Amino acid sequence: MDEQKPVGDLTTDFDILDPDYNLDPAPTWRDMRERCPIAHTEHWGGAWVATKYDDIQALVKKTPVLSNRQPTVFPLDDGKDPMADYFADLMPPLTKDPPEHSPLKRLLLPFFSMKAVEAHRSFTEQLCNELIDGFIENGACDAAEDYARQISPRVIGHLLGIEPGQSDQFVEWVQGFVELGASNFELRSKSYRALRGFLDDEIAKRREDPGDDYISRLIASELDGEPVPDITILNMCMLLLVAGVDTTWSSIGSSLLHFASHPNDRQRLVAEPELLGSAVEEMLRLHSPASAGRIAMDDVEHNGITFERGERLIMSLPSANRDPAIFENPDEADIGRERNRHVAFGVGIHRCVGSNLARLEMEVALKAWFARIPEFELSDPDAVTWSAGQVRGARTVPVKF
Ligand code: HEM
């Protein structure tokens, strides 16, 4: 299919880090879905890019031949064979394929059931209110930096039993690994090593002095009838940080940016607070932060295209969530949208473990904010910035109130 070859424009030579694309990706997604729904790009090691909802639903089922050992949109480690088994062990269960995937996922699921995450609501409420206390008197703040960014690392730190004072360090490493490091292998490896060293020490501490945090509970769990190896616990903790920090922070920041720049939606949520749940879902759909990655372990055919062995695939969940074949007025927000089968949390066997926690954090963060700051707007729209890459979210949102 000739039209699916790279032709050097943004729609078919997609660069997830292109600044113009990143500022306003919706036109590119629209164009790709219409002209070239499964495109190929030479950027970042080369990859196929799927942009339509139905294609992504079909592609996630092609496991394990479309393997999760490369779940990132950039190759996981420069210089190594990207199909090596080494990668499958890095962040279980995300990097594992069937049959190893299920038992590992089962270890985590009970920690993130609706009931289990409810236990963290009051910690999250208190945290959000303390953050608001810190800036409410100023009549202005950066809603992404001073608020959204501060929430998810502290909640996950709390789940893992990590001292609250170390959350900032967490964010720096996680950001270095998954975000800033995307185009900088040195920073990525440095941040990755720092995180691993830190978690290694935490696991050793919990062996000496167990609590009821998730690290202690993983230490007390069994995998295939045996104690869970320390290396698996460490890799799972790495995954929780990498998967749960900047995704959720992005969603909270993008939601506040949306309400600061869409007064009708803001006023509607103030007038109809019962819409909070559907507003959260709509923000997840419209401003989905995460894309997913796969690698072909053998030639895979899909709709007349062959992903050759060793080729990577990016699944643009944000684009799928704007697919007009599925969503009415896909580029518009409707915070009361009733039918909203978005795929912000992925689909198939790797669907997000932490979706209940992410929803709780978003709900609590928006509720606490709207209760105390119902009227707010952007103080400098030109100063708004977004992160680029696998996780896209608002990073600078200057507001006044
Ligand atoms: C708005 C916030 C979040 C979004 C948009 C999100 C999105 C996703 C997506 C798209 C996947 C699937 C990736 C793939 O198919 O390769 C995923 C998997 C995962 N997420 Fe999340 N996530 C969020 C928050 C969280 C949180 C808070 C946690 C936990 C603390 C978490 C833990 C995980 C884990 C462990 C997996 C791997 C599941 C598996 O492989 O079976 N996520 N997430």
> What CATH number should be reported for the domain holding residue 330?
1.10.630.10
> Residue 305, Cβ neighbours under 10 Å: how many?
16
Residue nearest to atom 40 of ligand 1 (CA): 94
Q: Is the dihedral of CA 326, 331, 334, 340 positive or negative?
A: positive
**How remote is the CA of residue 189 from the centroid of ligand 1, in Å?**
22
Q: Which of 352, 355, 359 to mutate for ligand 1's pocket (most ligand atoms within 8 Å of CB)?
A: 352
Size of the chain, expressed as the number of residues it contains: 401
- Under 8 Å between Cβ of 83 and 297: yes
The residues lining ligand 1, judged by C-beta closer than 6 Å to any ligand atom, are 68, 71, 93-94, 105, 108, 156, 239-240, 243-244, 247-248, 251, 289-290, 292, 317, 344-346, 350, 352-354, 357-358
- List alpha helices for 60-178, DSSP H: 85-88, 101-108, 114-118, 121-135, 149-160, 167-178
**How remote is the CA of residue 388 from the centroid of ligand 1, in Å?**
18
**How remote is the CA of residue 395 from the centroid of ligand 1, in Å?**
20
Residues 6+ apart with CB under 8 A from 276: 269, 363, 366, 367
Residue nearest to atom 30 of ligand 1 (CA): 244
pLDDT of amino acid 271:
98
**How remote is the CA of residue 350 from the centroid of ligand 1, in Å?**
8
List residues bridging with 142 in a β-sheet: 398
Tokens at 228, concatenated: 């869970």
Tokens at 128, concatenated: 């959000």
List residues bridging with 40 in a β-sheet: 48
**How remote is the CA of residue 248 from the centroid of ligand 1, in Å?**
10
**How remote is the CA of residue 243 from the centroid of ligand 1, in Å?**
5
**How remote is the CA of residue 6 from the centroid of ligand 1, in Å?**
30
Please report the atom of ligand 1 found closest to the CA of residue 60: 15
Q: What is the pTM of this model?
A: 0.94
pLDDT of amino acid 242:
84
Q: Convert 31-93 into a string of H (helix), E (strand) and C (coil).
A: HHHHHCCEEEECHHHCEEEECCHHHHHHHCCCCCCEECCCCCCCCCCCCCCCCCHHHHCCCCC
Total domains present in the chain: 1
**pLDDT, tens digit only, all 401 positions of the chain:** 333 433 456 666 888 888 888 889 999 999 999 999 999 988 888 899 999 999 999 999 999 999 999 998 888 776 788 899 989 998 999 999 999 999 999 999 999 999 999 999 999 999 999 999 999 999 999 999 999 998 998 898 899 988 878 877 877 887 787 666 566 778 888 888 998 999 999 999 999 999 999 999 999 999 999 999 999 999 999 899 889 988 999 999 999 999 999 999 999 999 999 999 999 999 999 999 999 999 999 999 999 999 999 999 999 999 999 999 999 999 999 999 999 999 999 999 999 999 999 999 999 999 999 999 999 999 999 999 998 888 999 999 999 99
- Which residue segment(s) compose the domain that 32 sits in? 2-400
- The closest of 36, 51, 28, 40 to 325, measured between CA atoms, is 51
Give the single-character DSSP code of 224. Answer: T
